[in-house]
Structure 1
Amino acid sequence: MNWHPAVKSAVDLACALVLLSALAGCKEQRLSVGAPAPRLAAFYLDGRPASLDQWRGKPVYLTFWSSGCGGCAADMQTLQKLTDTYGDRLVVVAVNTDPEQTDIAPFLAGLQIHYPVIRDQLGITKERYQVIGTPTSYLLSAGGAVVEAHQGMQGEPALAAMFQNAQRDKS
């Protein structure tokens, strides 16, 4: 269709405003300790959407990470060891915040990560969880409420204690 430049510009502007308002509506849900955890707007590496509902009934440790973050790598290795020890009694979910074009496969292969890894391609989940740097992590109760929030590397002693405490508290 060959539109007059002024009409095409108005249509482009209208489309952009519709898209922005739709995305803004997706970002409304915000983090609050003690409240239900915000929904995920992220996808598995194979493109399937991820949802916290699939882990309902188990505590979830949601950790936001990036491939250039040394503290993330150290904590992720510790989280894998703890996952191997505790099984699926507490689910670790790693949310990658790198741009979509970043190939994270070598990073994950090097760490031998076997717990769920999802990508936050649009940054909506990162915004909902108020992530300003990586690593940032949240412990969610088995009922889906935010229990704890942590910024920065946690280290093995703190993560091991968190896993042990989460086993006792099944709320």
Structure 2
Amino acid sequence: MSLNIKGIGSILLLSLTVLLSGCKDEKAEVGAAAPALAAYDLQGNQASLEQWKGKYVYLNFWASNCGGCLAEMPALEKLSKEFGDSIVVVGINTDKDEMNIQALLDERQVSFPNIRDQLSITQERYQVIGTPTSFLIDPQGKLTDQYIGMLHEPELKAIFEKSKQKG
């Protein structure tokens, strides 16, 4: 039995419909529960906010062609080490698969966790329209703040300090 192109197209459309119907229409809202991540770590494993439950999470959406994103990285790296007991920095890369972000992270000596959002589902849930855009999530999983644009080290440190005091 062979399927024609129309039959294969119908099967693919049906599969996509079933797949998408299982996705929640989550949208980020300060004061509400943080939307789930639909992204993978650099080893190809599904990432989840549950990995960091009990700590503040600073989600940082970034792209390799974003000057502000790259300029923030050294401060985020430094602060992630300084405040690692109370807050975890998680980079969410928005580049396509072809971009070798591991090489870029190695070159910049970035050790905080980074995940990929190639399908842009997480960006959509968090309503990210440009990078860098960051979010602060409390230890209970509630979205507490949103930051649009590049932040300098003193601004970032103030955010991290406040989180430490609350935690």
Same fold (TM over 0.5): yes
Superposed structure 1 runs of 4+ greater than 6 Å apart: none
Aligned residue for 2:44, secondary structure, equals coil
How many residues align structurally? 167
**Are positions 1:12 and 2:9 aligned together?**
yes
TM-score (norm 1): 0.91
CA distance in 1, matches of 2:78, 2:2: 61
CA distance in 2, matches of 1:54, 1:73: 25
Unpaired runs of at least 5, structure 1: none
Could you tell me which amino acid in structure 2 is paired with residue 122 of structure 1?
L
User: Cα deviations across residues 39-90 of structure 1 (Å, max 9, x unaligned)?
Assistant: 0111110011111011111100000001111111111210101112222310
CA distance in 1, matches of 2:27, 2:156: 25
Shift of 1:11: 4.5
TM-score (norm 2): 0.93
For residue 141 of structure 1, the aligned residue among 135, 138, 143 is: 138
For residue 35 of structure 2, the aligned residue among 38, 45, 48 is: 38
Could you tell me which amino acid in structure 1 is paired with residue 92 of structure 2?
V
Distance 1:20 1:103, change over 3 A: farther
**Are positions 1:89 and 2:95 aligned together?**
no
Shift of 1:2: 2.8
Superposition CA RMSD, Å: 1.6
CA distance in 2, matches of 1:27, 1:155: 34
Aligned residue for 2:91, secondary structure, equals strand
**Are positions 1:105 and 2:105 aligned together?**
no
1:64 maps to what in 2? 61
User: Cα deviations across residues 149-171 of structure 1 (Å, max 9, x unaligned)?
Assistant: 1111011111010000011112x
**Are positions 1:153 and 2:161 aligned together?**
no
User: Cα deviations across residues 114-170 of structure 1 (Å, max 9, x unaligned)?
Assistant: 111111121111111111111010000111100001111011111010000011112
Unpaired runs of at least 5, structure 2: none
1:28 maps to what in 2? 25
- Structure exhibiting the larger radius of gyration computed from Cα positions: 1
Q: Percent identity?
A: 47
CA distance in 2, matches of 1:100, 1:25: 24
